[in-house]
Amino acid sequence: MLSGDEIMKYYTIYEFAQMANKTPQTLRNPDKRGVLIPHHKGMNGYRYYCKELASDD
């Protein structure tokens, strides 16, 4: 079982964009170029990001 520190929270592109003070479209463009790749995509096609992806910024 994972401890509270090991559980990773995933954010939708909208939530992640708000945290980065960007628009969702701004994040989609680097995704298409392979610069900012989401952690995973859901079966619904939504992109999911984690805070670790923003740490390089």
pLDDT higher than 80, residue 48? yes
pLDDT category of residue 17 using cuts at 50, 70 and 90: confident
Domain 11-54 class, CATH top level: mainly alpha
Q: Which residues contact 14 (CB under 8 A, 6 or more apart)?
A: 24
Question: What pTM was estimated for this model as a whole?
Answer: 0.60
Q: Round to the nearest angstrom and report the end-to-end CA distance of the chain.
A: 31
The residue among 48 and 2 whose pLDDT is bigger is 48
Domain range summary for the chain, segments of one domain joined by +: 11-54
Q: How far apart are CA 54 and CA 49, in angstroms?
A: 9
Across the chain, mean pLDDT equals 76
Q: How far apart are CA 42 and CA 57, in angstroms?
A: 24
